[in-house]
Chain A
Amino acid sequence: MNLFKKMGKLALGAILLTTFASQSAIAAKYKVGVSVPSADHGWTAGLLWWANKAVADFKKSDDDVEFYVVAASSGSKQVGDVEDLMIRGIDALVILPLNPATLQNVINEAYDSDIYTVVVDRELETPSQNVFIAGDNAGLGTVSGKWLAKELKEKGNIVVIEGMPIPINKQRVDAFDAEIAKHKGIKILDSQTADWSTQKALAVMENFLQKHPKIDAVWCQDDDMLKGVLQAIKESGRTDIKTVLGGAGSKDIYKMIKDNNPVVRASVTYPPSMVASGIALAVAGLKNEKVGKMYHTSPSRVILAAELVDKHNVDAFYTPESAY
């Protein structure tokens, strides 16, 4: 029992220490709250890594700004997180809403109480923000479809593994399907969801390999899922699949492209670093600064292009120390 007492005291002491350490910072002029989903797949892990990187970078250059980064495992928990941030008196909120409709009410409350609001990645049904920054989801689908059609020389069978059933996924898949429909020789055999999870993609791919005797290419829109797909192909010993394409751009896949992997030859960007740019936009907005060398201060929408990354330009995108 004594041991437990000691452990309990130790834990409490540790909590107090970390909290006092964070409290002791000098009162800053601006407070920026950052709310993101907690790492449920590689991309969201990258998100938190980039948010923390941006915070660390700004601490060096702008010491009058203080940052609070919180991560939520569900939409309703994130609502609580935003309420807590508002209690701490934030001047700006950078948020990647887990589910836009769930977060709509609380983001309205923040925006209506004059908090400079930057919504990242997932758009609200009723706009309630100063800036919206996101990747190009439809573009990701279109660019992927074009590249695959070219690599397959306009002929072949594709299987598709989709992400989580949320609007972003639908935008990507719809654009991909529309692009593939233009290429008459290419057929989509099957399309199923695997929630952007490596493990689920492995299971779905195993099923596809059983079901379809001849597959020429796989499109799975996310590089985490691509790892599961590659594992399933390896275990099955099949050699008919000559081309696979993920997306979003993870460092492991970039490494494979760099190393001239015969099957993995490209990726399409949908960078988790967008949250870092979101934080930069919030700071610029608070200070009424111009964005880069532009002649304007606060844009209302920033859409980052979906870029095709292959061995010609991979070096510009490869960040080995990133979490994704």
Chain B
Amino acid sequence: MTNKIVSETAIQPSALSRWIKSISLTSMAPLIALIVLLILSAMVSDHFLIPRNLTNVLRQVSYTGIIALGMTFLIIAGGIDLSVGSMLALVGVLVIMILNHLGDGWMAVMIAISAAMALGAFFGAINGWLTTKGKITAFVATLATMSIFRSFTLYISDAGEMVSRNNLYSDVGTGYFLGLPVPVWVFLILAIIGHILLRHTAYGRHLCAVGSNPKVASYSAINVSKVYFLSFIILGFTVGISAVMLSSRLNSISPGDAGLFYELDAIAAVVIGGTALSGGKGTIWGTVIGAIILGIINNMLNLSGVSPYLQGAVKGFVILIAVLMQYKRAQ
């Protein structure tokens, strides 16, 4: 008896330290990469640390960052959504149509924003319905809706740019609060809500269970398709919010190019943040860091005058290095 206790206490600290070690190395990798990148950027360009530049970068990343938050949920659940960029354009065009129909005033803006969230959640639900009820793989279903959403966007807008006639709408996306742009606040607040939802609720635990092994999850009385479906709705909701932030910053939306390749940036942010594409585990704060890393790379390359043709290659290399670092640590 005493022997057993002794051996248990002897094992405890080593297990704990091993746990701490594994946590700090695998999940700190994105943070370390971010810090390295910050130092590098500050060295390379005198302009990088100007406060206005930092808030610009944060605002630039907030659009894909907000989507990446929702994408984290879906990827943890084992899914993927390629339609988010087209969905953003579709919601954006619809929001500006609603806004121009309602006219001036804050009331119109509030209704339009609520409509954007509802529309985003609705389009997300379509994707969710196709994958859970229609039994189509998420990759294929959202590949199809990517095309459908973009096509509808072009059709209803007649492929012309939609400009908001509301005099207050652009205040949402261009405004500042306590020194930070409004879209950045929205991004950070949503990140906190997302973190709580993922870490401290039953839904978050179910999501991880579904992602790591749906069969086992369903034996544990988890409604797998409901959990999966909900993650599509969460993602759609974040796309709706992102559409508001982007279209109000620009006071317009261009149906042909709004949200183009946002799905790739959002997925890249999630992956750089340490979430496994195979599902089951991941963190919200990792995604936030991943999104910021992508934004800083872009900004640093612009500020330091790297040839525009090379920028994509540098971005790709950094994604590869970030993922390789995590892969190595995880081993």
Contacts and interface: CB of A to CB of B under 8 A. Distances in A.
- A and B physically associate: yes
A11 B317 contact: yes
B44 interface: yes
Contacts of A20: 44
Nearest to B313: A11
A75 B298 CA distance: 15
A4 to B, nearest CB: 6
A102 interface: yes
A298 interface: no
B262 to A, nearest CB: 9
State the main secondary structure of chain B at its contact with A. helix
A104 B257 contact: no
A68 B306 CA distance: 10
A305 interface: no
B60 A22 contact: no
A166 B163 CA distance: 14
A167 B159 CA distance: 10
Contact of A8 (B53, B253, B308, B321): B321
A71 B163 CA distance: 24
A81 B60 CA distance: 10
B299 interface: yes
A101 B165 CA distance: 12
Given A73-B261, A83-B60, A88-B47, A15 B306 contact: yes
Interface string B40-52: 1000110100101
A48 B257 contact: no
A196 B163 CA distance: 25
Interface stretch (B18-26, B74-82, B117-125, B243-251): B243-251
Given A18-B306, A68-B305, A101-B251, 12 more contacts: A19-B45, A22-B306, A23-B304, A79-B249, A80-B60, A80-B299, A84-B56, A87-B303, A88-B47, A99-B256, A100-B161, A102-B253
16 contacts: A1-B328, A23-B44, A68-B305, A71-B309, A80-B298, A80-B299, A84-B303, A87-B52, A87-B303, A88-B303, A89-B47, A99-B254, A101-B250, A101-B252, A102-B257, A165-B154
The 5 closest A-B pairs by CB, nearest first: A165-B159, A71-B308, A19-B304, A101-B252, A101-B161
Interface of A: 1, 4, 8, 11-12, 15-16, 18-20, 22-23, 38, 48, 68-76, 79-81, 83-85, 87-89, 98-102, 104-105, 125, 164-167
Interface of B: 40, 44-45, 47, 50, 52-53, 56, 60, 63, 154, 158-163, 170, 174, 246, 249-254, 256-258, 260-261, 298-299, 302-310, 314, 317, 321, 324, 328
